[in-house]
Amino acid sequence: MFDRFKKKEKPLRDVVVEAVDFLVENQRSETLILSSYKINTVFKTHLGINFRVDRIGRALSRFAKKYKLERLSTNIPKYKLIVSEYKKSKGVHESSESDERNVSKKPKKLKKTKKGKKNKKNTNVE
């Protein structure tokens, strides 16, 4: 799951998204409370790497802003993630990102217009 990060090909925000995906897969209830400490624990157990929690927190806040998560009122920033809504919006975000990446696709053919013909709408001015 985190193999590419060991090669330092991915930025931290992408790895945070993968960690959230991992937590969502293993979640049994409908809601998941996200915090930078929880994501850091995922990194420690699966990667063996200890990140600074404040960097994870900044990446998590960008993630929460992107998916419009509710922030809980605690001293440590925590976000409430509803699993079913996340899966739906994740599909929407993935499809829009994949459309942007596939630039090499052939464009749709445009309809040809006949030359010399004017638009006949409202040509009579009175």
Domain ranges across the chain = 9-90
pLDDT at 99: 45
**Single pTM value for the model:** 0.63
Q: What is the pLDDT of residue 101?
A: 47
Note the pLDDT of residue 51. 84
Q: Write out residues in the chain with pLDDT < 70, as ranges.
A: 1-9, 92-126
Q: Three-class SS of residue 54?
A: helix
23: how many CB neighbours lie within 10 A of its CB?
A: 18
- CATH 1.10.10.10 correct for 9-90: yes
Q: For residue 89, which of 4, 26, 20 has the smallest C-alpha distance?
A: 20
For residue 43, give the DSSP letter.
Answer: H
Q: What H or E segment, with its residue span, contains residue 94?
A: helix 83-101
